[in-house]
Amino acid sequence: LAKHCVCISFSGCVVPGAGAFEIVAHRELSKFTHEVKGRARLGVQAFADALLVIPKVLAMNAGHDVQDTMVKLLEESARVEKRTGGNPPNEMVGIDLVTGDALVPAQVGIYDNYIVKKQIISSCAVIASNILLVDEIMRAGLSSLKG
């Protein structure tokens, strides 16, 4: 708990928890894929889909059907976005671990540390880039062995 307080005081802000941030980030990146051309589009969509791992794991650990829960969350998030014209932080939709339904985390006081989310996303991008680089180096090595 003390570590969380230090992170909050250092960054000065929080984001809605319960998977709400990841759901909104997924939806926004999915929209962005229509603006990206070529193979990069696949990377953006893969990153967007990877963000849904957090709410999926929350649903699974709470004993709910993952697919049903994700459908509920994404549909409710779309309804909120349509109704409000965006994704205001106080209306972002996350998962209620008790019922498996959608809830607004800000209304019940569920928050995540902003700085932790920022670091996780940054680390994921770096790790994915390194994996692709290693894969490229391995392919280059295999092709030089054949020649």
51 belongs to a structural domain: yes
Dist CA 92 CA 19 (whole Å)? 9
Structural domain for 50, as ranges: 2-113
CATH assignment of the domain containing 91: 1.10.560.10
143 belongs to a structural domain: no
- pTM across the whole model: 0.78
The whole-number pLDDT of residue 6 equals 58
142 belongs to a structural domain: no
The candidate with the shortest Cα–Cα distance to 14, out of 117, 122, 84, is 117
104 belongs to a structural domain: yes
Cα radius of gyration rounded to whole Å, the chain: 18
Tally of structural domains, the chain: 1
Tell me: the pLDDT tens digits for 94-127?
Answer: 999 999 999 999 999 999 988 888 888 888 888 8
128 belongs to a structural domain: no
